[in-house]
Amino acid sequence: MELKYSTDEEIYNYDDLREAGEMAFDYVGAQVGDTATIYVGEPVKSSASDFMPSYIMDAMGEMAYEECGEHAADWPDYTAEQEKELVDAIKNVVDLWADKYGKHPSFYNIKNSRPITIELLHGDEYEEVLSA
């Protein structure tokens, strides 16, 4: 399971405990035995298609109405199944494009975040302090 670490519970940009520990103890006077709280969580990555708007069919109808007026008022007429089929096909194409050009998001959300307390052992070595 992949984990990400944070020193502020907002930006999880450290790949391991050592990196997060370096930042948590990045102050003058840090001594062996000092403790700090950092946060660990599981990254939830997304595909490019996860950020597709859900109103494709409505947008097509609005654009047609703007271009052609009342003649396009009832277009496109579609069922929920037809809309899902089109949206799924477009999402597939978007993800193929993102695969080809490396355009999937590099950002992610975090789930199952929890605080952990670490102790400075020496140098850049840290250990999680287990609570009772």
Average pLDDT of 88-108? 97
Q: Is the pLDDT of residue 131 over 70?
A: no
Q: Would you state the pLDDT for residue 130?
A: 66
Q: Is 54 left (phi over 0), alpha (psi -120 to 50) or beta?
A: alpha
Tell me the pTM: 0.72
pLDDT at 125 over 80: no
Q: Rounded mean pLDDT of the chain?
A: 91
For residue 31, the SS3 value is coil
Residue 107 pLDDT level (bands cut at 50, 70, 90):
very high
Digit-coded pLDDT (tens) for 19-68:
898 888 877 678 888 899 999 999 999 999 999 988 888 999 999 999 99
Q: What crossing angle do the helices spanning 80-101 and 56-68 adopt, rounded to 10°?
A: 100
